[in-house]
Amino acid sequence: MSSDSTTAQEAITFADLGLSPKVLSAVTDAGYTVPTPIQAGAIPHALQGKDVLGIAQTGTGKTAAFVLPMITRLEKGRARARMPRTLILEPTRELAAQVEENFVKYGKNHKLNIALLIGGVSFDEQDKKLERGADVLIATPGRLLDHRERGKLLLTGVDILVIDEADRMLDMGFIPDIERICEMIPFTRQTLFFSATMPPEITKLTEKFLHAPVRIEVARAASTATSITQRLVKSGPKPWDKREVLRDLIKAEDEGLKNAIIFCNRKIEVSELFRSLVKYEFDAGALHGDMDQRARMQMLDNFRSGKLKLLVASDVAARGLDIPDVSHVFNFDVPIHAEDYVHRIGRTGRAGRSGKSFTIATRNDTKYLDAIERLIGQKIEWHDGDLSTVVAREESEDSPRRERAGRGGRDRDRRSREPRGGRRGETAKPADLAEAPQPIAAANDERAMRRDAIRHDNAARKAPDRQEPRRDNRRQRDEDDGRPVLGFGADMPAFMLVAGKV
Ligand code: AMP
């Protein structure tokens, strides 16, 4: 395995890399002049047809590092029906869609047929695109294999294979699928392989399927950007303690908080926290692995465009999303896997901008905190005193005891004084929203959007999408832990919201 310089040479421009004039013109139109280190390192080798092993996180510009040379190489030759010329494997639908956007952006001077094979959408449209002949096929592993099994797809014409986010593929149990797919593609292909970290299973995979790859490592996978101010925030152990800490933090950041991603370890926590934030009238949306494609895309669009300020997400759902300029990251849960900490906080402080991350920690989290600090090679400062200074908080409104008391007892007075829906006045409660019939609402109607989000959240909880099943026994980060929900949680039954006599 040869090795390349890990630092960007300032003098290098895109024009020096050997890309075609049409690709260069699209790069210029995108506003980029200086290649990032992964681009400067990978593009010349990829153009020569060599295998590349890129060790790089999202945010480093790694997508263009494979998209630009691919488009240049695709200028020669054309696609045949059902025989795609190139294949890019992505672990999630969002990442696959983002790669497609990159091909559209950088391929604007080309007539590329691009097919996107992802779960959660119908096979018919995808079949048509394959039938027309795809220059570029972007797929998640499960859906790709489904198409192949239906006899609609031949992989023998693939000249370039890209495996992106390999370590996340490992986490999601996709490695056996990747191995099967690699074995279906001619040995003579070029393989471009990207991973943020190199656990042993991934090293084994590269040894099996890459031929004398050029290794390009752009930053230590464990490094965190210096532009991020990282803080730990003490909390009591219960979810409602943490929710109150989070609310206080968000309020204290005030105007400085432009937008934030709030990470939870499990999708049930994503769901509960999202509902709680909405109940407290925060401008929040949720993103987790069980939401259908349309709901996820819409949620992301709303967040990107600034219609939503807070996005509650799980690691799997948020992995690799290209959301520029997030001012804050909150870890509602300390991640169990230390490297997830690096990925999570890497959502802020991008491209030299300053960002802030707050990690809410309880006494049960100390061993995970130790592992994170070991991995990033630094101590993280406490925001307002360490765990030895935790004091029991007053019960908050979303603690189960307070909710129970509120329903039958001391909250009754307040309810009878206020309009139906409690303090929200005109605005309905989440469960109220969830039960309401679908409105014909404008896309920018905030209430409609939130109602939609809650409906999707409800649907996802009832009928998880099984398009991309896990195929091994690794523990899933994004899964429910089966803990009972105390009281009614935020799932207030409809009968409790029926207007009473005032
Ligand atoms: P990626 O690591 O591929 O997810 O890219 C992260 C972000 O960097 C995306 O918003 C890209 O549009 C942007 N980007 C890609 N290449 C460059 C470049 N050469 N200069 C500045 N930004 C870039």
Smallest CA separation from ligand 1 atom 16, residue: 61
| 360 beta partners | 233
Distance CA 381, CA 407 (A): 40
Rounded distance from Cα 102 to ligand 1 centre (Å): 10
Q: What is the pLDDT of residue 467?
A: 38
Domain 228-400 belongs to what topology?
A: Rossmann fold (3.40.50)
Enter the tokens of residue 422. 């409690």
- DSSP 8-state symbol, 119: T
Please indicate whether residue 353, judged by its CB atom, sits closer than 6 Å to ligand 1: no
Q: Is the per-residue pLDDT at 173 higher than 80?
A: yes
- Measuring CA to CA, which residue among 177, 158, 153 is closest to residue 166? 177
Pocket residue to mutate for ligand 1, from 10, 27, 36, 343, most atoms within 8 A of Cβ: 36
Inter-residue contact 422 to 497 (CB < 8 Å):
no
pTM for the model = 0.57
Distance CA 392, CA 401 (A): 15
Mean pLDDT, residues 21-41 taken together: 93
Please indicate whether residue 64, judged by its CB atom, sits closer than 6 Å to ligand 1: yes
- Most confident option among 260-274, 418-432, 455-469: 260-274
Buried b (16+ CB within 10 A) or exposed e, 100-117: bebbeebbebbebbbbbb
Q: What is the pLDDT of residue 422?
A: 31
Helix or strand holding residue 264 (H, E): strand 260-264
Inter-residue contact 495 to 429 (CB < 8 Å):
no
Q: Is the per-residue pLDDT at 430 higher than 90?
A: no
Of 483 and 320, which is predicted with more confidence? 320
Tens digit of pLDDT for each residue in 295-310?
777 888 888 888 899 9
Buried b (16+ CB within 10 A) or exposed e, 325-348: ebbbbbbbbbbbbbbbbbbbbbbb
Distance CA 384, CA 391 (A): 12
Phi, psi of 258 (to 5 degrees): -85, -50
Please indicate whether residue 27, judged by its CB atom, sits closer than 6 Å to ligand 1: no
Q: What is the pLDDT of residue 26?
A: 97
Of 121 and 134, which is predicted with more confidence? 134
Smallest CA separation from ligand 1 atom 19, residue: 35
User: Kindly report the CA angle at 43 between 39 and 46, in degrees rounded to 5?
Assistant: 140
Please indicate whether residue 107, judged by its CB atom, sits closer than 6 Å to ligand 1: no
Inter-residue contact 196 to 55 (CB < 8 Å):
yes
Please indicate whether residue 105, judged by its CB atom, sits closer than 6 Å to ligand 1: no
82, 167, 438 from 340: Cα distances, Å: 38, 11, 37
Please indicate whether residue 61, judged by its CB atom, sits closer than 6 Å to ligand 1: yes
Tens digit of pLDDT for each residue in 351-382?
566 789 999 999 999 999 999 988 887 899 99
Average per-residue pLDDT for the chain: 78
Q: Find where tokens 């056996």 sit.
A: 176
Please indicate whether residue 324, judged by its CB atom, sits closer than 6 Å to ligand 1: yes
Domain boundaries defined on the chain: 14-217, 228-400
Tens digit of pLDDT for each residue in 206-250?
999 999 999 998 865 445 666 788 999 999 999 999 999 999 999
Q: Is the per-residue pLDDT at 261 higher than 80?
A: yes
Helix or strand holding residue 123 (H, E): helix 123-132
Q: What is the pLDDT of residue 36?
A: 87
HEC string of 6-71 equals CCCCCCCCHHHCCCCHHHHHHHHHHCCCCCCHHHHHHHHHHHCCCCEEEECCCCCCHHHHHHHHHH
247, 276, 426, 429, 446 from 281: Cα distances, Å: 11, 9, 12, 10, 12
Domain 14-217 belongs to what topology?
A: Rossmann fold (3.40.50)
DSSP state string for 279-333: HTT--EEEE-TTS-HHHHHHHHHHHHTTS-SEEEEEHHHHTT-----B-EEEESS
Distance CA 327, CA 227 (A): 11
Of 397 and 307, which is predicted with more confidence? 307
Rounded distance from Cα 116 to ligand 1 centre (Å): 21
Helix or strand holding residue 194 (H, E): strand 190-195
Q: Are strands 284-287 and 214-217 parallel, antiparallel or unpaired?
A: unpaired
Q: Is the per-residue pLDDT at 179 higher than 80?
A: yes
Mean pLDDT, residues 35-48 taken together: 94
